[in-house]
Structure 1
Amino acid sequence: MPVRRLFALLSCALLALFALTVTDAAAEPRAAAGDVVTARSVNAPGFFYARTWIITYRSTSTTGQPITVSGTVIVPFGANANTPVIGYAPGTHGLGDQCAPSVHLEAGDETEGLLIHQYATRGYAVAVTDYEGVGTPGPHTYMAGRSEGAATLDIVRAALRLPGTGLSTGAKVAIVGYSQGGHGAGWAAQLAPTYAPELNIRAYAVGAPPANLKTVADHNDGGDNAGLVFAAGYGIDVTYPELDMTPYLNETGRAVLADLSDDCTEELQSDKYAGHSLSEYTTEDVLARPEWRARVDAQNLGATAPRAPVLLYHSNNDEILPVEVSVNLRAAWCAGGANVTFMRTNTGPHFVTAALMSPTATSWVADRLGGNVPTGNC
């Protein structure tokens, strides 16, 4: 065969192979928010009545970038197409991967385990997010609202897509959370109509949310929980590429920033930070800078009214998150036409209220999943 003829045949074959490759690549589905990336069945101590998976799944960052988040899916035995799903946004666990709720659920020492049992023992599937950067590569974008809300909605999507659960994509859904989890649940409520409109969400339970970060920062700066203020500053800093806290830190501040980046809650609330003020670590008031104030304010709740009924609850005696942030959030959501049931309680300190109000919140959610629509108290 002439060399020219052989070359022509080889060229045609290569072109055909290239065309097939391009066609196959185009036909391959693009990863979507809520898609399961990995799933590992585990024996979670205490959840003897359920199957439990630790998963990673696709979600979206505050700045709109695709990210991978980890979390836990708990499905009671006997679950079926009628089983409701709870999207559970956990409270502050810390900034390091070792702090992740999924790590503690697998180890059997999860601090919110009993709160999660409140839902799972009713026969509901529970999907618990770890949030962006906790349990997966990259820093934790602590207090970045859109990321928290998206991660919470997307783990519900992931639970509904996870093989072997028996769950239905049309399952009734409720989104719940307390403290940071209240922030995440609140943001999920605001994002859901446009970000996850296909989810059949019937209720939101939003407990003691840090609905206004500047108010919370002013309340805690120099106090026992100052570490949470520093952690939030770190979280906002790593969320937005245009922000950089480093030029405004003194030597002590740079050391603190490096130290807290992998701290869990126990360390953030320890004497290491308690009693210290942000001014001790900075060369100027960072939160007064326009670019910082704009990004901090962008995490506040209230701009968009949820479309499903909301239980909003907060203790008058909350020492970490002042009740006024929920008072103002209620007014904003009610003004937007939301169906809000506000419970302003006398249940003591922050963490005590989480435990005392858990049965009430769980029962309220169960009523909504049962089809009862509350009148609210706007």
Structure 2
Amino acid sequence: MSARVGWARRHRRTVTVLIVVGVVIALVVADGIRRYAEGEGELATDPAFYSLPSPVPTGEPGAIIRREPIASAPAGATAWRIIYHSRDLAGKDIPVSGIVIVPNSPAPVDGRKIVAWGHPTTGAATRCAPSLGLDPFQLVEGMHELLAEGYAIAATDYPGLGVDGESSYLLGVPESNAVLDSVWAARDIDEAQIGDHFVLWGHSQGGQAVLFAAERAADYAPELTLEGAAVAAPAADLSALMSDDIVDISGVTIASYAIPAYTAAYGERFGEAAISAILTPAGAKATPRMADLCLLTQNEQIHAIADPLVGEYVTSDPATTEPWQTMLRENSAGAAPITVPVFVGQGGADELVIPSATEKYVTLLCAQKVDVSFHRFPGVDHGLAAYASVPELLLWLGELESGTPASTCPG
């Protein structure tokens, strides 16, 4: 073969690859435009969907109260917006919203395996729910890759988001109930063809929710089979999170979301005055305003309120001040063993969930004889931790399927 012919063939292959890549990019852009256009139309119907009668009829955890198809579903998939029954910290029946997404490929004979997704912080106000967004799928990190692998996805909003109710921000039990009940809700949709095997996957706040779900799954949902739990930059140790972050704007924002939720959940046990006593007068005045703002869409307003409060928001470190010390400990992961393999991804440049906090939690898991696959991503910050984890996550899911998940624990 002459050099000229070889060059010509390589040139044609390169051109072909570039054309294919260009077509794929064009399709992704076109699908994004379609989803946003259809999402605009759906926004008009959202208020009626999320408005429920009072009182809401009771039901079993995971039983669907209401559902509707989502026209802006990703290409090659079908999706529903759902409201389903769950339970709060006291065991009371509460409605929770979310979405379910399934690939349009044929389901296996025994049903699709489902990934229960726990989203990162969006806020604590009802309107901050991911399912209420113009693109309700935007925060499901790894969605396209998981759907391509044949997984269905259930993505809860958590209690208090979407459907009006008390916030569950950083409350491990109600968040994890909502995650686990989302699997039951997805199975309640006959055409979704969901089986009884599932995997947990969460980022940041969602990491806390997922770890609690992994600890509690066997008792709370024994009829389901949990195969593994995956987290990225998880809010595993709330005491460390508060101590590390309360001195900056992230900590002020997190605390402003947590204080109303913890007051509602623990007010009867500890007294509302004792819980709010951690705040300075300026902090007490600002908290209701910050708690009513959504993190992703009202960031500038949050900064305007929180910036002057850095160093002046609380009177002492919540992690060492009662009753916060007890409340944070009770809502930190690790108190109960996890009996399935765990994947952990952590960015090396994370300034919110700092690497040493995640490393300490992984050490605890290893001491509890959990099969942990721990991956560090140098230079990756908190916001990108889940996206950076996706390639390794997919490899780990393949290892789960084959029954040979690798452990990075020593020994």
For the superposition of Structure 1 and Structure 2, which TM-score range results when normalised by the shorter chain? Answer: 0.7 to 0.9
Larger deviation, residues 280-289 vs 126-135: 280-289
Q: Percent identity?
A: 27
TM-score normalised by structure 1 residue count? 0.83
Question: 35, 49, 61: which is aligned to 1:33?
Answer: 61
Letter in 2 for 1:42: I
Letter in 1 for 2:290: L
Letter in 2 for 1:341: S
Question: Contact between 1:206 and 1:312, CA under 8 Å: does it hold in 2?
Answer: yes
- Counterparts in 2 of 1:66-77, with a 5 A limit? 66-77=93-104
**2:253 aligns to what?**
227
Letter in 2 for 1:253: G
Larger deviation, residues 130-139 vs 341-350: 341-350
**1:175 aligns to what?**
200
- Counterparts in 2 of 1:159-308, with a 5 A limit? 159-168=186-195, 170=196, 172-225=197-250, 226-242=252-268, 243-244=271-272, 245-246=275-276, 249-266=279-296, 267=298, 270-277=302-309, 280-282=312-314, 288-308=320-340
Residue 363 (structure 2) pairs with residue 331 (structure 1): yes
* Cα 1:282–1:309 shift into 2, 3 Å: closer
Letter in 2 for 1:99: C
* Cα 1:314–1:157 shift into 2, 3 Å: same
TM-score normalised by structure 2 residue count? 0.77
| Structure 2 Cα separation of the partners of residues 114 and 286 of structure 1 | 31
**2:128 aligns to what?**
99
| Structure 2 Cα separation of the partners of residues 353 and 364 of structure 1 | 16
**1:53 aligns to what?**
80
Letter in 2 for 1:117: H
| Structure 2 Cα separation of the partners of residues 252 and 134 of structure 1 | 27
| Structure 1 Cα separation of the partners of residues 186 and 345 of structure 2 | 27
2:326 aligns to what SS in structure 1? helix
Letter in 2 for 1:215: A
Letter in 2 for 1:338: V
* Cα 1:247–1:32 shift into 2, 3 Å: same
CA RMSD of aligned residues (A): 2.4
| Structure 2 Cα separation of the partners of residues 297 and 277 of structure 1 | 25
1:325 aligns to what SS in structure 2? helix
Number of corresponding residues:
344
Letter in 1 for 2:178: A
Deviation at 1:114, TM superposition (A): 5.2
Deviation at 1:276, TM superposition (A): 4.9
Deviation at 1:248, TM superposition (A): 5.3
* Cα 1:176–1:220 shift into 2, 3 Å: same
| Structure 1 Cα separation of the partners of residues 299 and 266 of structure 2 | 22
Unaligned residue ranges in structure 1 (runs of 5+) = 1-28
Letter in 1 for 2:405: P
| Structure 2 Cα separation of the partners of residues 312 and 110 of structure 1 | 23
Deviations 1:15-48 (A, max 9, x none): xxxxxxxxxxxxxx97221111111112125x12
**2:389 aligns to what?**
357
Deviation at 1:55, TM superposition (A): 0.7
**2:407 aligns to what?**
376
| Structure 1 Cα separation of the partners of residues 383 and 317 of structure 2 | 30
* Cα 1:218–1:272 shift into 2, 3 Å: farther
Residue 128 (structure 2) pairs with residue 79 (structure 1): no
